[in-house]
Amino acid sequence: MGEWKAQVSFRVHQAFRDELAAFAAQERRTLGNLGELILEWGFEQLKIAGSTHRLLKYKIRSSNRQPGPQREE
């Protein structure tokens, strides 16, 4: 049988929620599924970093390329 899940609720700005919902739709996921994925991944990164201060100290460089899988030719 599957693992039991507990509901978590928190507040975000409406514009952020709308952007998340649009991204979830683009990925063909539900907003809840995308939120779970991001929260679990982010918490793993936080545990590795050891603190929110150290986690937020590092940033991913943005690129001008469109997001998506990269193919080698």
Q: Is the pLDDT of residue 73 over 60?
A: no
The whole-number average pLDDT for the span 3-22 is: 94
Domain ranges for the chain, please list them. 14-57
Give the model's pLDDT for residue 71: 47
Question: Token pair for residue 60?
Answer: 């991913």
> Could you tell me the end-to-end alpha-carbon distance of the chain, in angstroms, rounded to an integer?
43
10 against 72, higher pLDDT? 10
- pTM for this structure? 0.71
Choose among 35, 47, 42: nearest CA to 60: 42
Strands (E), 1-73: none
What is the predicted pLDDT for the residue at 27? 96
CB 33 within 8 A of CB 41: no
Residue 64, classed as helix, strand or coil, is coil
Tell me which amino acid residue 22 is: A
